Each structure stands twice: as structure tokens, then as C-alpha cells.
Structure 1
Amino acid sequence: MAAMITVDFQNSFAFILFCLFSLLCYSLFFRKAKGSRAGRDLPPSPPSFPVIGHLHLLLSVLVHKSFQKISSKYGPLLLLRIFHVPIVLTSSASVAYEIFRAQDVNVSSRGHPPVEESLWFGSSNFFFAPYGDYFKFMRKLIATKLLGPQALDRSRKIRADELDRFYRNLLDKAMKKESVEIGEEAAKLNNNIICKMIMGRSCSEKNGEAERVRGLVIESLALSPKIFLGMIFHKPLKKLGISLFQKDIKSVSPKFDELLEKFLVEHEEKMEEDHYKANDMMDLLLEAYGDENAEYKITRNHIKSLFVELLVAGTDTSALATQWTMAELINNPTILERLREEIESVVGNTRLIQETDLSNLPYLQSVVKEGLRLHPPASISVRMSQERCELGGFYIPEKTLLVVNTYAIMRDPNFWEDPEEFKPERFITSSRSEQEDEIREEVLKYIPFSAGRRGCPGSNLAYVSLGIAIGVMVQCFDWRIKGEKVNMSETAGTIMLAMAQPLKCTPVPRTLNLLPSSLHIPSS
């Protein structure tokens, strides 16, 4: 599945010529030069091509690695220019600390949405919402009703039920000696969990609903590189009346709209029934939509856009992380065996691992963290400075796009011993101690879900989902692959970190007895 998330920028010559002409016009008629202010210097800029500047870095096969390479050669804080559009790139843990801590409010914007009218990365989008009333209202609702610690406790049984279904499906394939694609199975698990948490039911496999949703998720993620380029060129091209990749980005919106309108109508009909009590996120959003006195008056498109964001972010990103981590475990049998021993000592062999076990499984937690360190689902994090500021001692103009290379920061040899190796034991020390060290040193070296006000609100759910999925696969099955090692190459042409060859292996049951999901699962 993940291999499908590919965009070929190698054949984008027409795009380059188009941008060249458009931005030359813009630079001649609209652009005013910006330099340093009051004697303060801008960040250093590495050598670039005439006119196009550093565009070649964005069109490279692996953008995050191109950024990592140029940062290691010219410095951890750089000013890039794509034609005349400035971008500040950092691969520094200390600058990341400044961005996400000292400048958090100033950079609590991701810039302009590439298109206005789209459920995916449009003007109704929570991801692109400016830091204001709507963003605060939605983030509060997400934290208290869906993804915060107490909300996750209330939805625990949903994940237990879906984990049991995940285990039974793998066991069925194992008994038939069928191979499975780890990413695809993990995506199904995460899709069902997210759908049940948001709208009270999973998408049906029988009528093709689930397959349709997963297809839309893949199609949406494939647009990520185009969305990134659309963000960069939105402002200059808007002056010329041009919207980059508008047709491509908007194409997925009506497909989602048709499906989501069906879900909304279904919920509205249920809400009209006597004695009906709101019990999922969509119910609460529809109540807010119909409440004239609501804290913020949301629209129907706000609800649909949020559903799309939660579905896309919660389904495939976790699936990618699960796939990478399992590949690392298969390639490191000693680590896999140590993890299995921990699970057996805590959980035993009479029931499945549950998320209530995770706090007693520090090595499993470390495995999950190490997998995310080496293979963060999103390799870069994007912000925009609303006001001029200073980073790393350099002047940053207002409305400048900031790109944080999280991939490079989490492989920086200045902060990580043997940074390219899979070593979960590096996280065995207490998380409180790590946080205290980062605060004292003023660095942010571990940011798989970004940080600050715009950090991923679903990070708690992601850690839980990864922990239980990897835990079950290690506890219940051995895994056979073709060859001696899993190929760890990355897919080219995408911002999302996907495997070039999806992890396909054959599960072998470690016991023929069907393990119960739990002796008792509270339905809190």
C-alpha cells in the first residue's frame, strides 16, 4: 500500500518552465527585495542555480535527505530561495527548540492552503487554520472528546475489539500459510479504530465502503509533495491569478464529500430518535453545528474537513510507522527476542496484550520510540513566521516559511550515539529525565510528531496504536521473509516516509490456541 504513495518529480520539466516564467513576471512586477534589518544578517545561503535558486532540492528523489546533505555541508540553519521565495531550513535541535518553544505563538501557522475550496488542505481545514478562535475551538474539542488521555480511556474498548479482530485476521492467514502486507493490515486496524472513535462504527468491508475510504487516504497522501509545493508558491502565483496543482488537490474533495455527507445524514437521523445520547465525535460536532450559541459557529465543511484530516493522519501514518518498526525488528532478531521475553513476562501466554499493559512494558515503548526516531511518518515539519524574529542569532523576516527537517534532527550524531542504528535501549531512561535534559540544554532532538501548539494532537493515540499492534505481532507470531534481510530503502518522491518495497511476510502462529482479547476489559 505504502508503495503507491509516490509522486514522480523527475518528469516535472513543464512545471519548472511554467514556474520560471510566472515567477520571473512576479519578480519584475510585484516583488520587493528583502535583506537584513538594522544590520542583522539573514541565515547563510548555500550556492544555488541562477533564477531557480534551490528548486532542485525540492525536486530531488528524497527531499529530506537532500536537505540533510546540504545542511551537513553548509550549516544547520540555512536560507534557501526557490526562485524569489525564501525558505528557512533547519536541521538543528537547538533551533527547533527556539521555533517550537520561544517562537511558538509566532510560528503557530502553516502558511496558506494551496487551494481554497477543498476538504483536503482547503480553507475549512484544521491543519491550515490560522491560530485563532476556530483553531482553538477545534483543538479543545479534539483534546477533550477524542484524543486526550481521558477521552482515550473512554474509547479503550473500541481499540481492544479492533485489536482482537486484527489478531484473528492474522491468525486466519497464518493457518492458511498466506503472506500478509504488514502496512496494509495495520492500515485496516487504524482505519477501523479511527472510524469507530469518530462516528461510532467502522466502515463496512462487505459493501466496499472500507476499501473506498482506504483508497481515498492513499490518494490524499500521494498529494503531499504537490501540497508542499503549492504552499511555497501560493503567495507569488496568487498575484498572477494562478493556483498551483489546484485540479489535482481538489480532485479528491468531491469523493470524500459524497461519502461524508452520507455519514452525516446517517448521524442526523439517529440524533432525531427519542432518548438518543451523543456518544461519538461526529455527534458532538453536529450538535455544535446546530447550536446557535456555540463557542464557535462551525460549518458542515468544517466537520467534513476535520474527519478527512483525522482519517488520513490516523490511518496511514501509523501504518507506515508500524511497518518500519516491524522491519527493524525482523532485521534485528536479538532485539525482537528481548521484546518478546518482556511481553511474556508481563502479559503471559493466556491472553492478548492490551493497552493497559503498555505502562508495564518499557522495552516495547522504547522499540516504538526508536522506530519513530529512525522513520518518522512525516520527514519535515512546516511553519510560517507571522512576525519578524530571530533564530540561531539570524534575522528572519515576517511571513517566511520555516522547514524543520525532523528526519535529520533525529539522526544528528551530535545528539544520538550511533544514530543510524536501531537501538531501543537508548530510550530506557525515564522520559521525565529526557525532557529535563532537553529543557536544560534548550534542544528538541526527538520530535516525531512535531511540537508546540501545532504539534500532532493524535500523538498519544499513535503511541498506543503502535504499541498494541507491534505487541500482538511479536507476542503471537514468528515472521518469515524472502531473503535474509528486509530491504529498508525509502520510496522516492514523497514527503511521507514509506518503504520502497512494502513489508510482505508470512506469519507463523506461536500457539494454535486462540488467545482471548482480555480477561476483563473495562468499558470506561
Structure 2
Amino acid sequence: MDLQLSTNLLLITSFVFAFMLNAFFKWFSSKKQSSTAATKLPQSPSALPLIGHLHLIGKVLPVSFQSLARKHGPLMEIRLGASKCVVVSSSSVAREIFKDQELNFSSRPEFGSAEYFKYRGSRFVLAQYGDYWRFMKKLCMTKLLAVPQLEKFADIREEEKLKLVESVAKCCGEGVHCDLSSLFVSYTNNIICRMAMSTRCSGTDNEAEEIRKLVKTCLELAGKVSVGDVLGPLKVLDFSGNGKKLVAVMEKYDLLVEKIMKEREAMGMKKEDTSAAAMQWAMGELINNPQAFNKLREEINTIVGSKRLVKESDVPNLPYLRAVLRETLRLHPSAPLIIRECAADCQVNGCLIKSKTRVLVNVYAIMRDPELWNEAEQFIPERFLESSQEKIGEHQMEFKGQNFRYLPFGSGRRGCPGASLAMNVMHAGVGSLVQRFDWKCVDGEKVDLSQGSGFAAEMARPLVCNPVDCFNTF
């Protein structure tokens, strides 16, 4: 037994040493080649052997990449252990990726968790660009997200908005804190469930809460397993055990969704947690900016009055409400890093980008670029009003990503297909909560707007506040 253990330890040690030696020679060789190559390559910060640039990266990737880009330019190569990518941090380079060479950058790469993903090969969001992806997008748009379909579900969204307000009013009546983070997730998930399956997720068996926990766990584990890319070949050993945990959680999720699908004879479901995160940021910014909060409430009271809540049909007449959501998405995009993969060797910003290179477009940095935005770090909804001197342009307001300094939903054929639905849900939800309730922070005078490290760029801490009912709608 001792001999077998010693042999195993020797094999593992040899394997690790060989891997480290190989990685070192690759690093040394690449440095030598890049210094003598005739073709210009993207700039790169000074890297360390084996770990690359890991020592320069904090827990919030978009912020770390933004800081590095200020020193090393709008197109830079970053190496995290054995994983390498190119980071884009300017609107001009983003235009090259999303418009000038869109077809070459229409696919998305796989990451370290891909081998543990149960639905590998049948997914939509991370599918390679081709016939399958085009078919899935057409199906998604025609059956769920087309304008006529969205109009059919307007009553559903209105009912769920009322339930959201009722939940907050209940907190007021009971004198307890209100966890807006949780309420927003339930609000958006129930809308999607009813659109896709004609039923709310929150039934008597508490399926909504179970689904929410499983999805959250999947995202957390997928992020941890993706770090396996840093280890290169060693990731197959799954030292942390997160790979096995991810498989187990996805099995549970699959069984639950399969049960719901069979009960409702539906084809599937789509989660909108990213919209929930955006609404949290909007409410947090408004609570921290009383002047903007009061200006929005005054607009709503003038146009809508106080005898009913804001409806989606009111939104075209509420320019400041629209501006608030646009400014929120500028500062807190739900997808701060847009991921692409280069299909063939090409030139971007005068640099060679090789095929299969992972490209991360840091829209977080682009939409906070002081050369593109006045007072870029400040929450100023007025910049999105027609009277603004910031001359944003009409395409800026359409969320289609054709003005490349404003990309909250991506751009081109791989842009977010659910942008219109997300905006409908957010406008009605945020508008109603501002219209009806005053809000006070539980701890301190302001909401903690620290950014978390999740895929959807959520707040680091849940948004928990004390609501004060201003009028009785019911």
C-alpha cells in the first residue's frame, strides 16, 4: 500500500514538473518570437513564468482589465496561467470586432467548465456560429421574443409587476426589511416562466426558490471550474472537486426542469436574472442620488398620477425613466465582458490576432471611458435626454450596439436577443417602486454599490432596504 502511494506521488510530481518545465519553455519561446516577429502583436504587461498575469488581476475582472488597458493600450494580450486571451477596451477597436469583421468574431469559445456541461453541443448562448445557432436564434425570436409575442404577454408582465409591489407593501405593513435582490429575481423569473410555460415558477412546492438556488450554484461552480483553464492539462484532475459538484447540481436542475416541462408540455425556459441585477443597480443608484429619485417621481406623478401604477404603455411618455435605465446599464452592464473567438487569422488595430484566440471586449471600460463620456464615473441620467449636450446619437438609444461607445446588450448578430423584453420588465418594475415607495438604507445613509465578481456583474451585497408606503394603490 505504501509502495503504491509512493509511486502515485512520484508520478504526480513528475507530471507537474514536466508541465511546469514545458510551460516555461513555451513562455520563453513566445517572448523570443514576439521580439523578432515582423508582424505586430498586441501589447502585453510584463508576465511571470507559469502564472502569467494572474498577479495583476483582482476579483472584479472588468475593473482589473480597465486598469491594465490604461497602461498598455486598447488591445492587449493577457495570460492567466495556461489560458491566453486578447482584451479590447476602446470603442474604435470594438467597432472592428463587432462590425468590420463581425463574421470572423461571431463564435464564442469554450472555457474550463465545458467538459462538465451536460448540454454541451445543444446549447444556444455559447454555441459556435453556424446553422444550428442561426436556427436556435430564429426559434427564440419568433416563438418568444418577437414584438407580437411580447405584446401578447403584456398582461402577464403587468400582473407580475403588481405582485412585486404587493410584496414590498407587505414588508411595509409588517415593518420588516425588504430584500429587493430576491424580489427582483422572483419578478423576472416568474415573467419568463409564465411566457414560456404558462405558469409561475413560485408554486406551492416552492419550485422558484429551488430553481433560483440551483441556477446560482451552477453559475458559481462554473466560474470556479473555468479557473481550471489556468492549470492547462492539469485541469482534468479536478483537484477542487468543483467539476463533479457542477455535474451533480446540473443533474438536479435537469430533473426539476424536466418535471416542469412534462407538466406544462412546454419546450423549455429561459432565465432573466441579468435583468434582476440591472434593477438592483438602478434602485441602488436612485436611492444614493435623491435628486434623480425625486426628479423621476415628479415625472411619473405628472404623467401617470397617483391613482394607478406605471404601465409599459406609459414608458414612451417618461423620458427620464428611460434615461435612468440607460444610465444604469452604462455604469453597470449586465454582461461587462463580451466574449468572442477569432475564426481565422486577421488584423485588428494593426495587430495580428490568430485563429482560435479568445477575445474579451470590456464594455464596462468602454462605457466608462472619460474620452467618450463626460464625468464618466458619475450617475447622470440627464446625459440620455434629447436636450443633452452630450450628443449621443439616435442609434445610442436603440440598444442595437451600432454606436460602439454604448454596448449594454452587445452588438451584431450575437447581441442579446432579449433586450426589448428586459427593458419592458425593468421600466415597469423600477418605475412602480419609485412611484409608490420611499426608500431608506438599513445600514448607513447610502447603498453599498461595490461590484461583485459574478458573471452578471451583480452587487457584492444584496440590496436590502426599508420601504415607506407613499400611497395605497390597492
TM-score, structure 2 as length reference: 0.87
Q: Note the alpha carbon deviations across 1:183-204, whole angstroms, 9 max, x for none.
A: 1111110010011111110123
Output the amino acid matched with 2:282: T
* Aligned equivalent of 1:142: 140
Residue 33 of structure 1, CA deviation = 5.6
CA distance 1:33–1:443, change in 2 (3 Å): farther
Q: State the secondary structure of the residue aligned to 1:136.
A: helix
CA distance 1:147–1:513, change in 2 (3 Å): closer
1:159 aligns with 2:120: no
Q: Distance in 2 between matches of 1:163 and 1:463?
A: 13
Gaps of 5+ in 2: 1-12
* Aligned equivalent of 2:464: 504
- 2:254 pairs, out of 249, 252, 257, with 257
- 2:194 pairs, out of 196, 216, 237, with 196
* Aligned equivalent of 1:186: 184
Q: Note the alpha carbon deviations across 1:52-90, whole angstroms, 9 max, x for none.
A: 2113345x2222211111111111110122345431111
Output the amino acid matched with 1:74: H
* Aligned equivalent of 1:24: 20
- 2:358 pairs, out of 389, 392, 401, with 401
Counterpart mapping for 1:461-500 below 5 A: 461-482=421-442, 483-491=444-452, 493-500=453-460
Determine if contact 1:26/1:237 at 8 Å carries over to the other structure: no
**Identical residues among aligned pairs (%):** 40
* Aligned equivalent of 1:64: 62
Determine if contact 1:96/1:443 at 8 Å carries over to the other structure: no
Q: Note the alpha carbon deviations across 1:423-446, whole angstroms, 9 max, x for none.
A: 0011113999242899xx986111
Output the amino acid matched with 2:333: P
Q: Distance in 1 between matches of 2:39 and 2:218?
A: 41
Determine if contact 2:24/2:50 at 8 Å carries over to the other structure: no
Q: Distance in 1 between matches of 2:55 and 2:402?
A: 33
CA distance 1:345–1:118, change in 2 (3 Å): same
Output the amino acid matched with 1:481: C
Determine if contact 1:40/1:394 at 8 Å carries over to the other structure: yes
Residue 224 of structure 1, CA deviation = 4.9
Output the amino acid matched with 1:435: H
Q: State the secondary structure of the residue aligned to 1:106.
A: helix
Q: Distance in 2 between matches of 1:21 and 1:367?
A: 54
* Aligned equivalent of 1:366: 323
Q: Distance in 1 between matches of 2:56 and 2:421?
A: 33
Determine if contact 1:57/1:67 at 8 Å carries over to the other structure: no
* Aligned equivalent of 1:293: none
Query: After TM superposition, which residue ranges in structure 1, 4 or more long, deviate above 4 angstroms?
Result: 17-23, 25-38, 240-245
Q: Note the alpha carbon deviations across 1:339-380, whole angstroms, 9 max, x for none.
A: 111111221112111111111111101100111111112221
Residue 38 of structure 1, CA deviation = 8.2
- 1:414 pairs, out of 361, 366, 371, with 371
TM-score, structure 1 as length reference: 0.79
Q: Note the alpha carbon deviations across 1:275-303, whole angstroms, 9 max, x for none.
A: xxxxxxx3xx4xxxxxxxxxxxxxxxxx5
Q: State the secondary structure of the residue aligned to 2:103.
A: coil
Q: Distance in 1 between matches of 2:178 and 2:41?
A: 51
Output the amino acid matched with 2:45: P
Q: Distance in 2 between matches of 1:413 and 1:18?
A: 50
* Aligned equivalent of 1:390: 347
Output the amino acid matched with 1:404: V
Output the amino acid matched with 1:200: S
Q: Note the alpha carbon deviations across 1:17-68, whole angstroms, 9 max, x for none.
A: 999768537658999969679832111111111222113345x222221111
Q: Note the alpha carbon deviations across 1:426-476, whole angstroms, 9 max, x for none.
A: 1113999242899xx986111122222221111111111111110010111
- 1:427 pairs, out of 359, 366, 384, with 384
Output the amino acid matched with 1:254: E
CA distance 1:484–1:204, change in 2 (3 Å): closer
Output the amino acid matched with 2:423: Y
* Aligned equivalent of 2:414: 454
Q: Distance in 2 between matches of 1:354 and 1:443?
A: 29
Determine if contact 1:91/1:405 at 8 Å carries over to the other structure: yes
Output the amino acid matched with 1:44: Q
Q: Distance in 2 between matches of 1:361 and 1:20?
A: 61
Q: Distance in 2 between matches of 1:420 and 1:406?
A: 14
Q: Note the alpha carbon deviations across 1:79-117, whole angstroms, 9 max, x for none.
A: 122345431111111111111111211111111253345
Determine if contact 1:57/1:63 at 8 Å carries over to the other structure: no
Determine if contact 2:402/2:411 at 8 Å carries over to the other structure: no
Output the amino acid matched with 1:88: V
Greater relative contact order (Cα 8 A, min sep 6): structure 1 or 2?
A: 1
Output the amino acid matched with 2:50: V
Aligned length: 450
Q: State the secondary structure of the residue aligned to 2:137.
A: helix
* Aligned equivalent of 1:214: 212
Determine if contact 1:20/1:52 at 8 Å carries over to the other structure: no
CA distance 1:509–1:376, change in 2 (3 Å): same
Q: State the secondary structure of the residue aligned to 1:79.
A: strand
* Aligned equivalent of 1:11: none
Output the amino acid matched with 2:289: N
Determine if contact 1:117/1:123 at 8 Å carries over to the other structure: no
* Aligned equivalent of 2:105: 107
